[in-house]
Structure 1
Amino acid sequence: MRVADDIEHWFNGGAADGFNLMPDALPGGLQDFVDGVVPILQKRGIFRTGYEGATLREHLGLARPDNAQLWRKSA
């Protein structure tokens, strides 16, 4: 599929590290992309097949901040 080929070319060439989609018709156009292009990109190792963490913080590799309430003294 040409769309997957173009995305792979831009991604591997360092021209893009992500994409914003503007489907021509909603919801059908987005579903066509998800069903047709995403599996191709996953087979090529460009699009993830799952998430390792359970939270957005874990997906982004961010450390959990200290809880400020633990350090407060009781009144």
Structure 2
Amino acid sequence: MTLRFIAKDPETNGDHCPTAWVRHEEKEIVFQGWLADAALEAECLATGPIPDNEGVIRLPFRMIQAIREACDVAEGATVR
């Protein structure tokens, strides 16, 4: 399996929660998050277009540790 689970939102109710994974073979970090609303997407578009195969997602600050861990795993570092 190429998808390695890292963590879910630590304040999850167990359903519909932000999640982080790493795909080593594809050299990707994968996130599940909340979709941006139209206003946030419009703000993001101010810095450039969003291609049809990309999207803007939101992750809560409480996911920072999971994001760091995903980065460490992706780099092959020892995870704390």
Bigger relative contact order (CA 8 A; separation at least 6) = 2
Rg larger in 1 or in 2? 1
Structure with the largest fraction of strand: 2
With the shorter chain as reference, the TM-score category is under 0.3
Structure with the largest fraction of helix: 1
TM-score by length of structure 1 reads 0.25
